[in-house]
Amino acid sequence: MSRIGKDLSNGPRAPISHTQDNADIAMLRRASPPDRVPHVCIVGAGMAGLRCAEVLIKNGIKVTILEGRDRIGGRIHQSSKIGHSIDLGPNWIHGTENNPIMNLATKTKTEIHSWGVTSNVFDESGSLMDEKRATFFSDLMWTVIDDAFKHSNNEAATIPSSESLYDFFVARANELFPIPLVETGRGATADKQRENQALLLKMAQSWGAFIGDPVDRQSLKFFWMEECCDGGKRNEFPSQIQHKPLIADDRKQKTFSLPPILDCVAKLPLLAADVQLSKRVTDIESQNNSNGERVVVTTEDGETQIFDEIVMTTPLGWLKRNKEAFTPPISPRLTKAIDSISYGHLEKVYVTFPRAFWEGSNPSPFPNDGYSGFTHWISPTYATDTNPQAWSQECVNLAAFSAPHAHPTLLFYLYGDCSIYITSLVHNMTPPSRHTTLKTFFLPYLSRLPHFSPTDPDCQPLTFLSTEWQKDDLAGYGSYCNFQVGLTEADADIEAMRHGMPERRVWLAGEHTAPFVALGTVTGAYWAGEGVAQRIIETYGGKRRDEQTWGGVKATVDKTATATSNSFEPATAEVPSAEETKNVRRKTSKATSLPATTLIQQDHLSIKEEPNESDDDSSSLSSAPPSPTLQPIIPSKKRKRTTPSLKTTPDTTPPTIEPPSQWRELYECVKEIRAEIEAPVDTMGCDRLAEKWRSPKDQRFQTLISLMLSPQTRDAATASAMRTLQTTPLLQPLGLTLPSLLTLPLPALTNLIRPVGFHTTKAKNILQTCHLLQAHHSSDIPRTIPALLSLPGVGPKIAHLCLTAAWGVTEGIGVDVHVHRISNLWGWVGPQGTKGPEETRKVLEKWLPRELWGEVNGVMVGFGQTICLPRGRRCGVCRLGSRGLCPSADVEAELGMKSHGKLNNVKVNTSKSRKLPKTDGKDPKLEDQSDNEKPTVPDIEDLLCPVTATTNTTGTRRLRSRVP
């Protein structure tokens, strides 16, 4: 299991934290006070504090919240100073599936807006870069980041702590664009390669906006900790991000004006907890004297309050500057952890105009897009007076939102030295001076936008609003945690903070104590608050459900642990159950994530769990505050599936067999034969049909399309259909890409792929898949088998082949009719044989070395297409028979060979051939196999499978495949 997978299954929401064992938990168990329920103080009314309070209150625990500001929400805050409601703090949701924040957005009907995947890129001279070139290098940048995640995951132990992500980019740029030693006149010149290297390194600077600091400060050793969940393996990271801003209007809750999502989490704490605003905590003392164990909290006004437990949800930056507030002093290990983890410098600058002049006369030239949502000015050299360091700039277009939420505003993200400089420059300036200063700084970039004219009033900024989190002591003088070069044990540091000091009744929660997959996000803060609440409940002997979820991964919990002396019997907190999954995908953005007004969501987290029912409590929250005898909340029962889904395969356990004797010699012999013979799969295989000049992302998409066209179809027909899609005027000028295919009507697509078998069903599946990719996978191909199998028309064979061909990741063997049939002929699946490709795959994966999984399909398919044919096997020209390696070799056919190796006119004796088991003859990946859709010529599966002759009612003979 990967490091993140272990963290998911054993995190703070699991029964035991990483740094504890069962004995430690038992030692921490304490009885509740004899005459009252436990009283917990939560310092900070941000997302972690509010979620912690919500869970504790539902379990009958008394809660007091001390908040230093005069409002709740912490860094989640809105402003309307520019005439539109905007977020000053976090505004991203990291992941759309299995994310409690996304569930809350759905529940509150927070509107989702999807931007396109293209970006506008201005080069260092200020010229707009060609779209194809910009897209290519943008995709390439994410591919390198993807490789860096893999490298960090696999080699973290050996990577020097001083090595940065930028160092990895430099090395990869040299590999991707090598400088030729001698100019040959062919290929790229040395100058061109240097130009490409430089451009890739400049594009890499954009990673700084995700962590709040420059890319050369990002630790490569702990880069894996920037990953985010996605239902699967390590972590998958898309090569291009799709952003989905969420817009929400203010809504009243008591005396607070809250965004709906924050409102939903805060409702119960505001009703049932003692919320004390403008209470700055200055001292936290853990006492153990004649009065018993307790925590004494002192606030800035001199007031002291006594609690049984305290949960510190203050930001990491606050902890760094206020370690002396704790008595006794914080342990050396926790001190080291707090000092080691870095704190970012992300800031925002909103610029609003009378009209979105960059859109031209039409305010929305592209449906749901407008002028591309993202604009980058890389390493500008044309603003030396205001930006001599040539800091790259980037902004998002809020005018691209759908009505009524769109407004003519650009949101700039500043990070690292640039954000420090701008924040310090305008701090304490008068509004007019601030406006003039910011306009002077940003004008060189604004003037590059389409339709800009210095004399046009619409092009003159009305208002600038810049955040100053670096000047905010309650925010810790920064944004959120990140992992910079020099760290030696960042994962252990996070775990140390996550553990806190429970033996002193002091707990820590926040985005810096979240599971590794959600560090630096509001989702992580939500989980961290919930996790600490669950641990406190367990400490007091609270009953817990059999299964809890930590980031969507199931963990078994002992729900019988109760303190017999307890008069306090907390109810069971609502925590969603989940399907156990194995994989993890890329976190594609690092900006902390919670929508206020323009909440931007990304699809890079998809561990599959049931919706968080604990969030759906609007009806219960309108009642009176719960009492200590609050009854357990019982989650609603889910209706069980009564019929298997289309892609569900029989739960049969494949036979366990030893590797066949001489299998290695047989396989090497087949590879020798294949090296001498070109098969259709070598030139028209699905992994060969994508246009090589396309971006990696588009090539992956075309590979998936070709695989979806291939079932029940000859390779030549598949190749022909792909060429039609790639060249048809209906998809120009973009060609065969996901955005262009989404614009194609179903009848037109059906007609274009008519040469393939079952074209109507495949056309429907392809369009449905395109919509799913756009909505849930950032318009890219999923990087996990479960995610691929969730697409219509994709079965196990296509999923494994696609993962290998598109991503270079092999998690299984792609088994089609050739591999299935030949494996049975060779006895590779046991003496009893197998009934279908899926069972064959499971058997082969039990003994075939993993390093061969990626190549075995191509080797065996080509062998089956040229030598070991389904009908009339060419055993006479096959060396397997002459060397005694094939148990099904036809000796009689071999005797009829001519000396030059060509088949003589000899009838093949099939009576000695190994018989294959029968199957139902249906392709489990196609829903519709009506006769009127069958191709007029025998398809590839008919030609290459054993067949039986059947007679229909008219007396004509037709072929029926025996292997699906």
Q: Which positions are catalytic?
A: 797
- The enclosing H or E element of 203 equals helix 190-204
User: How many residues make up the chain in this entry?
Assistant: 964
- The enclosing H or E element of 776 equals helix 759-776
Under a CB-based contact definition with an 8 Å cutoff, are residues 82 and 354 in contact?
no
In terms of DSSP bridges, do strands 481-482 and 342-343 run parallel, antiparallel, or are they unpaired? antiparallel
| Structure tokens that stand for 285 in this block | 């003392």
Under a CB-based contact definition with an 8 Å cutoff, are residues 178 and 193 in contact?
yes
Judging by beta carbons within 10 Å of its beta carbon (0-12, 13-18, 19+), is residue 902 exposed, middle or buried? exposed
Which residue in the block uniquely carries the two structure tokens 């390696």?
885
Under a CB-based contact definition with an 8 Å cutoff, are residues 425 and 437 in contact?
yes
- The enclosing H or E element of 598 equals strand 598-602
CB-based contacts of 935: which residues, under 8 Å, 6+ apart?
713, 717, 755, 756, 757
CB-based contacts of 827: which residues, under 8 Å, 6+ apart?
660, 887, 888, 914
Distance of CA 193 to the CA centre of its chain: 32
Which residue, among 393, 395, 390, 389, has the nearest Cα to 379 in the 3D structure?
390
Which residue, among 548, 607, 741, 513, has the nearest Cα to 228 in the 3D structure?
607
Does residue 733 have a cis bond before it (omega within 30 degrees)? yes
Torsional sign, CA 52, 53, 58, 61: positive
DSSP 8-state assignment for residue 205 = G
Give the separation between CA 738 and CA 697, rounded to whole angstroms.
Answer: 10
Distance of CA 896 to the CA centre of its chain: 59
> Can you say whether residue 50 is alpha, beta or left, with left for phi > 0 and alpha for psi between -120 and 50 degrees?
alpha
| Structure tokens that stand for 748 in this block | 């037109």
Under a CB-based contact definition with an 8 Å cutoff, are residues 757 and 711 in contact?
yes
At 848 the three-state DSSP class reads: coil
Give the separation between CA 717 and CA 723, rounded to whole angstroms.
Answer: 10
In terms of DSSP bridges, do strands 39-43 and 62-66 run parallel, antiparallel, or are they unpaired? parallel
List b or e across 847-880, with b for residues whose CB sees 16 or more CB atoms inside 10 angstroms.
ebeeeebbebbbbbbbbbbbbbebeebbbbbbeb
CA angle 628, 630, 632 (to 5 degrees): 135
Give the separation between CA 784 and CA 583, rounded to whole angstroms.
Answer: 7
Give the separation between CA 592 and CA 42, rounded to whole angstroms.
Answer: 21
Give the separation between CA 873 and CA 893, rounded to whole angstroms.
Answer: 9
